[in-house]
Chain A
Amino acid sequence: MTTIATHDLSLSIGPRTLVQGLNWRAQAGECWSIIGRNGAGKSTLLRTLAGLQQPAAGAVEIRGRALRDWPLTELARERAFLAQSRHDAFAYSVIESVLSARHPYHANRYWEGSDDHQAALAALASMEVADLAARDVRTLSGGERQRVAIAALLAQQTPLLLLDEPANALDLAHQVSVMGLLARLCREQGKTVVMIGHDLNLAARISTHVLLLMGDGRWQAGSNQQTMQPSLLGDYLGHPIDMIEHAGHRIFIPKECPA
């Protein structure tokens, strides 16, 4: 089943075309990584998929229905979005920030119900931040804040997850566990994950599919096997890349710069 699809989608910033004629679809159970250079339009694409931004041309469909035809609250039960960075102006507690993700589920209530609290606590536990529940979000470390934000995303309980650099600020152990959790959600619960990441090895380990963006309109989408090739990646990232095999995994390393 197609979760999200784009039709002739074009994105531009000022006079620059970032993505041109993107025809792409993601099915339930697929885990996509978007890979490209800085400024190649990865975040612009993800924000457009989330409905936060209008494309220059073309359309985005979620479950066969154009984004603008979805009522916002219903759409919020279909897709969740993790922003690249956040600025906390007020002293909300961790549990309050995660409960806020339950907003689309209690439209007519003034207070959250016990089901919302259960979902929030379960999400916090899965991100190993349950002990932070009462803390002020502004006092958390960068990695803790990121895990709380991902917990909020999970508490939203949507079939489609859009994540802008989920591994940002996470330590090595949590990068691996968070990525593992996302892959498991796709595999076991049939969720669709679309995420941006800069770590090729993590992407190669957990993504089923990859979307490469060149930043001048060109793009390439395909399965992990098709796209995670050193020459192709080198083209799209603008730096030659080597691949080695280790314990059954492909490891990508940048080639030495000719000094």
Chain B
Amino acid sequence: MQASVPPMRQRATLIVGAMLAVSIAILLFAGMTGSIRVPLADMPDALRQLLLGRPESLAASLLELRASRALVAFATGGALALAGLMMQALLRNPLADPYVLGVSSGASVGALLALMLMASTLVIDAAALCGAVGVAMLLYLLARRDLRGGQAAEGGASMLLLTGVIVSALCASMITLMLSIAPEGRLRSMIFWLIGDLAGAPLRLAPWLVLAGALLYAMRNARAMNMVALHAENAVTLGVRVGALRKGLFFVSALLTASAVTSAGSIGFVGLIVPHACRFAFGPDHRVLVPASVLAGGAFLVLCDTLARTIVAPQQLPVGAITAMIGAPVFLYQLHRLRK
């Protein structure tokens, strides 16, 4: 314990470095795997062609398709994991996830409505974003006082949680209603959206910008997140502006969730389990957890999506059907091995 200053920093560098290496390895794996395998030996050349913007060989064209999908998956997974981590710190509840406050249910209501009305892809995305932002605004108005913190020591977070759960339930009933009256032909696409699917998700810059901005915010506030996780409202006496931090965490995680569900539908499990697994593996310090969760979430979703499009190829499964199937056994193993 005595000489623990450099080790803390070294340990963090080591963890984040290792996660980065794993992420790159998984991205490479995603690029190589598919109905036609690209051998590792062809990868450097294909990558070079891709970076020059002139994919000529078969390998390069394949890589272009797969890389764009993998990059969407990475941004989505990273965003969901970071949103979950922020929600858990905000609510001081390790069981919170990005969906607990109903932001994704709001997105689902918007997207399903657009799907039911046979709107174009762009309109569906816009409707999802509107739904997510709408619910976030509603929640903020209802829970503004609780977010600010103050009088009630532990009451604030649990009030926000309860409000979110109720709003979420309301959205869920609207989803059920739409599913039950939707025409037969639209049902499949609606279900796929609800499960979360990366097939045909376009590679856009916006989710990456949102993720980068949120990561920057989280890194800057990582120490303050530790304070709030440890001391709740009393972190004020240690110089943390708890009210401002809570509002920030709320809005940034809502934005991340909105951006993730807009590009890929409501993929479950990543936002809850990835931060949790990282906390088990690396400890609760947010200075390590923030970068580690983003990398782990991104890599995990790329891996899941690669499996989703190859397990029963040529048929493609929605990635949301795979995440828990792979994640749950890994997590249960970790949980019980560590408990011993």
Contact = CB atoms under 8 A, between A and B. Distances in A.
Contacts of A134: 1
Contact of B239 (A75, A90, A91, A110): A75
Interface of B: 1-2, 4-5, 8-9, 92-94, 150-151, 153-154, 222-223, 226-227, 229-234, 236-241, 279, 283-285, 287
Interface string A27-59: 000000000000000000000001111100000
Contact of A100 (B2, B92, B238): B238
Given A96-B285, A97-B230, A103-B227, A90 B279 contact: yes
B279 A91 contact: yes
Contacts of A114: 5
Nearest to B8: A111
B1 A110 contact: no
Contacts of B4: 95, 117
Given A52-B233, A96-B283, A156-B238, 15 more contacts: A52-B234, A72-B239, A76-B238, A77-B239, A81-B234, A83-B231, A88-B230, A89-B94, A91-B279, A96-B226, A97-B230, A110-B223, A111-B5, A112-B8, A121-B1
B1 A133 contact: yes
A93 B5 CA distance: 15
Q: Which 6 A-B pairs have the closest CB atoms?
A: A76-B239, A73-B239, A81-B237, A90-B284, A104-B239, A89-B92
Contacts of B234: 52, 81, 83, 86
Contacts of A117: 4-5
Nearest to B12: A111
A72 B231 CA distance: 15
A226 B317 CA distance: 80
Contacts of B232: 87
B151 A111 contact: no
A60 interface: no
Interface string A215-253: 000000000000000000000000000000000000000
Given A111-B9, A121-B1, A79 B223 contact: no
B318 to A, nearest CB: 33
Nearest to A134: B1
A22 interface: no
Contacts of A73: 239
A72 B5 contact: no
Contacts of A90: 92, 94, 229-230, 279, 284
Which of B8, B222, B241, B287 gathers most chain A CB within 10 Å?
B8
A88 B229 CA distance: 8
Interface string A62-100: 000000000011111101110100111111110111001
A193 interface: no
Contacts of A112: 5, 8
Contacts of B2: 121
Interface residues of A, number: 41
28 contacts: A52-B150, A52-B234, A72-B240, A77-B239, A80-B237, A86-B231, A87-B92, A88-B230, A90-B230, A90-B279, A92-B226, A93-B283, A96-B285, A97-B230, A100-B230, A100-B238, A103-B223, A103-B238, A104-B239, A110-B287, A111-B5, A111-B8, A111-B9, A111-B287, A114-B5, A121-B2, A134-B1, A156-B238
Nearest to B91: A89
A36 to B, nearest CB: 20
A100 B283 contact: no
Contact of B283 (A77, A91, A133): A91
Nearest to A107: B239
B237 A91 contact: no
A117 B259 CA distance: 40
A76 B151 contact: no
A101 interface: yes
Contacts of A88: 230
A53 B230 contact: no
A113 interface: yes
Contacts of B229: 89-90, 92
Contact of B241 (A72, A101, A121): A72
A91 B284 contact: yes
A96 B282 CA distance: 13
Contact of A113 (B5, B154, B231, B241): B5
B93 A89 contact: yes
Interface string A101-136: 101100100111110010001000000000001100
A134 B239 CA distance: 25
Contact of B237 (A52, A95, A111): A52
A111 B94 CA distance: 24
A96 B285 CA distance: 8
A51 B239 CA distance: 11
Contacts of A83: 153, 231, 234
A5 B9 CA distance: 42
A112 B285 CA distance: 12
Contacts of B240: 72, 103
A116 to B, nearest CB: 8
Interface string A170-195: 00000000000000000000000000
Nearest to B150: A53
Contacts of A121: 1-2
